[in-house]
Amino acid sequence: MTEPNAPAFEMTPGWLPFHPDPSVPTFRVPPGTVDAHCHVFGPGAEFPYAPERKYTPCDAGKDRLFALRDRLGISRNVIVQATCHGTDNRALVDALRAAGDRARGVVSLDLAVTDAELAELHAAGVRGVRFNVLRRLVDFTPREGLEAIAARIAPLGWHVVVYFEAPDLEELEPFFTSLPTDVVVDHMGRPDVTRPLDGPEFGRFVRFMEQHPTVWAKVSCPERLSVAGPPALDGERNAYRDVVPFARFLVERFPDRVLWGTDWPHPNLRDHMPDDGLLVDHIAHIAPTAELQRALLVDNPTRLYWSD
Ligand code: 0GY
């Protein structure tokens, strides 16, 4: 129930809410599958959105996330702090506590965080910190601040999750490779999928992974990267085909350092909202063998998030 003085939040105009009734996938994920990139939004009346946010989403709380997990046949979630909650991780921690061992978290932090707070986050299931450097999502944070945070979380065995766009990799690479932890890249570093797979832009990303064995990639968000879009035909389940070669290349080249996630509830999409069941069916195209599927969906995320 909404408290009498709870702030009322108005969604960003044009906001697309998550799919109300995702299909049951035809691809059956292996037991132990982890959705390694998803979020919770509020509910705002209980967990207010951050004053510095760049968008106000629809509420998408933990119960809806857990219902989606069960519908898709997924076992566990890695919940990643979304920028609309700033560095207030309460909604995320509440979801982790409710999920028990079935969820881990990646938070956003500011420098004022105390060691006691870090220990509490770890106990709740947090295993990473996110550095989101997209200017449309966050204000600029000086590198020194991010370096100081990385130095604080490294002794806990956590890693850094980074979100950037492909043209920025050249400038950011020295910073990423100076970090004292593993670095997990959201959404394959957001390649432009109209460019060639063997062109300079994606080539840079592949080299980045080849040269740095501490770098991982999430082969997630085809719905955000795709230009072709969802299937044109009703009932067709092979969606976002233009993204497949990019994701599949990484899965086959780096089978031990790739993760998959839904990105539910899909913030800031403008033209359509994906059917999450189709996103699961997409997996069979990017990881074509049972061995690759098991590495991507079970072994890799379990090693990164559930090893202690
Ligand atoms: C994503 C993508 C986006 C948003 C965020 O934290 C966020 O607000 O990550 C985006 O707008 O591209 O991974 O959820």
pLDDT in tens, the chain (308 residues): 445 556 689 999 999 999 999 999 999 999 999 999 999 999 999 999 999 999 999 999 999 999 999 999 999 999 999 999 999 999 999 999 999 999 999 999 999 999 999 999 999 999 999 999 888 999 888 899 999 999 999 999 999 999 999 999 999 999 999 999 999 999 999 999 999 999 999 999 999 999 999 999 999 999 999 999 888 777 788 889 999 999 999 999 999 999 999 999 999 999 999 999 999 999 999 999 999 999 999 999 999 999 98
Question: Ligand 1: which residues within 6 Å by Cβ?
Answer: 39, 82-84, 132, 137, 163, 186, 263, 267-268
Question: Mutation test of ligand 1: which of 133, 226, 268, 279 has the most ligand atoms closer than 8 Å to its C-beta?
Answer: 268
- Retrieve residue 149's tokens: 């945070």
Q: Which residues are known catalytic residues?
A: 263
Cα 223 from chain centre: 13
Cα(4) to ligand 1 centroid in Å equals 31
- Rounded to whole angstroms, the Cα distance separating 108 from 53 reads 13
Structural domains in the chain, CATH included, are 34-305 (3.20.20.140)
Ligand 1 atom nearest the C-alpha of 224 is 12
pTM of the model: 0.96
